[in-house]
Amino acid sequence: MALGRAAVRRAGEDVTLAAYGASVHKALAAADALAAEQIDAEVLDLRTLRPLDVGALVASVAKTHRAVVIDEMWRTGSFAGEIAAILMEQAFDQLDAPVARVASAEVPMPYAKPLEDAALPSAEGIAAAARALF
């Protein structure tokens, strides 16, 4: 795929899970958990943030009408906020619920692996954010 082109890693009809990097795997795990509850999640791998494939984001939300943006940065000042703003500006009429964001805890990133895992977004947290949109 060309630079700046997002990829649908899992097609779905009910909610878009937009992620990049390591968070894509967590979004796929969350989509599996949601499927067991009859929630059909589309996983959109953004692949690059600059350039950002805004067209793919808007097209996915136009299909699912809900969005969860996953970002390993802190919620405050994160790229997830920028993506949420873009969706509000360009897909507002398509949304049936506010754009949800799942981000890292607002703490300095711990070095210890168990604490790092606790601070980063998880598949369970992503699934919970998606469920809250229904």
Residue 53 pLDDT greater than 90, yes or no: yes
Q: What whole-number distance in Å separates Cα of residue 17 and Cα of residue 40? A: 10
CATH architecture entry for 7-131? 3-Layer(aba) Sandwich (3.40)
Structure tokens at 30: 């969350």
For residue 30, CA distances in Å to 18, 45, 75, 108, 131 come to 12, 14, 19, 25, 10
Q: Domain ranges in the chain?
A: 7-131
Query: What is the residue-averaged pLDDT of the chain?
Result: 96
pTM to 2 decimal places: 0.96
What is the average per-residue pLDDT within 62-72?
Answer: 98
Q: What whole-number distance in Å separates Cα of residue 83 and Cα of residue 71? A: 10
Decide if 15 contacts 39 (C-beta within 8 A): yes
Sheet with strand 7-10: strands edge to edge? 7-10, 41-45, 15-19, 67-74, 100-104
Q: Residue 13: beta bridge partners?
A: none
Counting other chains too, the contacts that 113-117 makes at CB distance below 8 Å and 24 or more residues apart are none
Q: What is the pLDDT of residue 93?
A: 97
Q: What whole-number distance in Å separates Cα of residue 119 and Cα of residue 110? A: 8
What is the average per-residue pLDDT within 17-43?
Answer: 98
Residues of the chain with pLDDT > 90: what percent? Answer: 98
What is the average per-residue pLDDT within 13-34?
Answer: 98
